[in-house]
Chains A and B, each alone.
Chain A
C-alpha cells in the first residue's frame, strides 16, 4: 500500500487539533502503516510544532522556508508536489485551508480526491471505502476511491478521535532543500479580523439561535420576542447572515463565533457540521425543526418536530404567562 502522509496546520507554535485527528484517520486506513507528518513553516514556531508532532509518534518532514510563514495553498501545493512520492496518500484537514489546497493538489499529483471524509471502511481491491455526507448532512454515502495512483483525502475536523496510545517518538527529517520553487501567482496580503458586533454572543448563557426555517425577515420578531421572555440573546446560523437579516457577529459556526452557553435553542437550524463546530462546552440543546431527519436532532438533548413559525409564538406566550 502507498505511503501515508498528513499535512499539519499550525499556529503560534502549536499544531492544530486536526493533526492528531489526521494521524488517527491514517491509522484507520492502515493500522500498520507508518505515518509521515508534513510540517511547513518558518522560524522557531515551526520547530516547536515539529517536535510536538514527532513526540506523538509520527515521522516528521520539516520544510522550513520564509515563503511558507503563512499557509498560502498555492505555495504549499508546489512544495508538496516536489516532496511527495507519486502514489502517496495525503490527508488534509477539510477546513478553509484544506478546501483551498486539496482539489488542485490532487490534479497536480494525478491522484484521486475525496473531500469532507468522515470515516473509512477498509479496502476493496485498490478501492478505499469512504463514508461522507451530502445535502448538508441529511444523508450519508459510501464512496469507493481508487487509491492505486495515490489520493488526496480532505478529512472533516472532529470526525476522527485522536489516538491516545503513545508510540515511540518519531524522527524529524529536514526536507527544506527539496521544496523547489516557492513563488505564487496568488500573494497573501493580510488577515482582516472580524468586526465586533453590538452584542457578544460568546459571553451569553442562554442563546436563542435561528436558522433558515424562519423563512422571512418579517418573522424574525418572534425570535426576539422569545429571547426577551427567556432573558437570552439571539444568535443565528449562516443563512441568516447571508440574507443580511442579522449581523455577522451573531453567527454561530466555524465561519462565525464559537460559543459556550449553558442552554442553546436551535430554531429552524438544520445542524450542519460547520454550525455545530461553533457550539462548545456541552450546553443543553433544544432543537425545533419541521424536518424530523434534520441532523440537528442528533446533536440536541431535546427535540420538537414542528414548524418554528407555529411553535415559537406558543412557547413565548407560555413563558410570558409564567413571567
Chain B
C-alpha cells in the first residue's frame, strides 16, 4: 500500500491564544508557535500502522514555504518513509481549490493507493480531501475514524456521524480519506527521532516542476479570498466574576447553590 499523507503547518492551539493585531484586521503574528495540524498527526499515525501491517510506504507532503519543511520532517520522525515539499511564490494565498490542485499535481508524479488528509485544520474548512478526490475522480470518505485495510482492492472505513454513531462503508482503491482525531493514538516524537531524520533530504517541487500554470493557483486563481480577521461586538456574554480567588470562589458557590448546582 502506497500512502500519501497531506499535512499542514498551523499555529499550535495548545501554545497560542489567537488574538487580533493592533490594527484589528489580522491575527497577531508575533510569537506565534507553529506545529503540525493536530488531525494530520492522526493521519500519519494511521498510515504508518497500515503500512506496518500490509507493507508499502508512507510519503508526507505539505504545501507551504520553507518553514513547512519542519513539519514534514517531524512527521518523518514519526516513521513516514519519504517527505515532499510543494513550494513556490505562486502558491501563496491559494484558496482550498488551489491547494487541492497543487496536491493533485504532486499525486500525478507518484503512484498511490491511498491519500489521507486531516479532517480539518486551523481554518475549519474541512475541504482539501474532498476537493482532491473529486479532481482525481477517486472515491472519498470524510471524518474517518476506523480503517480496515488488507491487500484487497477495497477497504472498509467507518465515518464519525452525529450522536457518536459510526457509518460503515466499503470503498474502492485508490481513494482519498479525511482522518478524524481519536482514530488512533499518535506516537510520541522525541528529540532522538527528530535527530534521526535531521539530515534527510526533502525534495522540493515548484509550479514549473509540477506543471502548474501559476495563474491558476495562489491569489490570482482564488475564487475565495479572506479579506480580514475580526472579532465582532458579541453582546454581553458571560458575567465575568472579578476579585481575589477567595472572593470569586465564594461568589460562584452562592450562584451554584441558587441554581441547584450543589446538592
A132 touches B124 (CB 8 A): yes
B162 touches A96 (CB 8 A): yes
Residues of B232-255 at the interface with A, using a CB-CB cut-off of 8 Å, are 232, 234-235, 237-241, 245-246, 248-250, 252-253, 255
Give the complex CA separation of A46 and B214 in angstroms.
46
Give the complex CA separation of A72 and B226 in angstroms.
31
Q: Which of A106, A188, A191, A263 is B260 in contact with, Cβ under 8 Å?
A: A263
> Within 8 Å CB of A144, what residues of B?
224-225, 227
A189 touches B170 (CB 8 A): yes
> Within 8 Å CB of A229, what residues of B?
262
Q: What is the minimal beta-carbon distance from B108 to any residue of chain A, in angstroms?
A: 16
A145 touches B139 (CB 8 A): no
A96 touches B143 (CB 8 A): yes
Give the complex CA separation of A310 and B245 in angstroms.
9
Binds A, one of B43-51, B81-89, B130-138, B204-212: B130-138
Q: What is the minimal beta-carbon distance from A114 to any residue of chain B, in angstroms?
A: 6
Give the complex CA separation of A297 and B235 in angstroms.
11
Q: Does B31 contact A (CB under 8 A)?
A: no
Q: What is the minimal beta-carbon distance from A14 to any residue of chain B, in angstroms?
A: 15
Residues of A254-302 at the interface with B, using a CB-CB cut-off of 8 Å, are 254-258, 262-263, 265, 284-287, 291-293, 297-302
> Within 8 Å CB of A257, what residues of B?
163-164
Give the complex CA separation of A229 and B263 in angstroms.
8
A303 touches B164 (CB 8 A): no
A96 touches B126 (CB 8 A): no
**Count of interface residues, chain B, beta-carbon cutoff 8 Å:** 82
Residues of B138-190 at the interface with A, using a CB-CB cut-off of 8 Å, are 138-143, 156, 158-172, 175, 181-182, 185
Q: A103-B129, A293-B19 given as contacts; is B226 within 8 A of A230 (CB)? A: no
Q: What is the minimal beta-carbon distance from B188 to any residue of chain A, in angstroms?
A: 13
Q: A100-B143, A186-B140 given as contacts; is B238 within 8 A of A297 (CB)? A: yes
B131 touches A104 (CB 8 A): yes
Q: Does B231 contact A (CB under 8 A)?
A: yes
Q: Which of A102, A192, A298 is B165 in contact with, Cβ under 8 Å?
A: A192
A107 touches B97 (CB 8 A): yes
> Within 8 Å CB of A238, what residues of B?
181-182
> Within 8 Å CB of A318, what residues of B?
249-250, 253
Q: Does B110 contact A (CB under 8 A)?
A: no
Residues of A187-205 at the interface with B, using a CB-CB cut-off of 8 Å, are 187-194, 205
A115 touches B125 (CB 8 A): yes
Contact with B along A131-149 (1 / 0, CB 8 A): 0111110111111111001
Q: Which of B139, B140, B164, B245 is A306 in contact with, Cβ under 8 Å?
A: B245
Binding site for A on B (CB under 8 A): 11, 13-14, 17-20, 27, 96-97, 100, 119, 122-131, 133-135, 138-143, 156, 158-172, 175, 181-182, 185, 223-232, 234-235, 237-241, 245-246, 248-250, 252-253, 255-256, 259-263
Binding site for B on A (CB under 8 A): 72-74, 77, 95-97, 99-108, 112-116, 129, 132-136, 138-146, 149, 184-194, 205-206, 212, 229-232, 238-239, 241-242, 244, 248-249, 251, 254-258, 262-263, 265, 284-287, 291-293, 297-306, 310-311, 314-315, 318-319, 322
The 4 closest A-B pairs by CB, nearest first: A103-B130, A231-B263, A303-B238, A194-B164
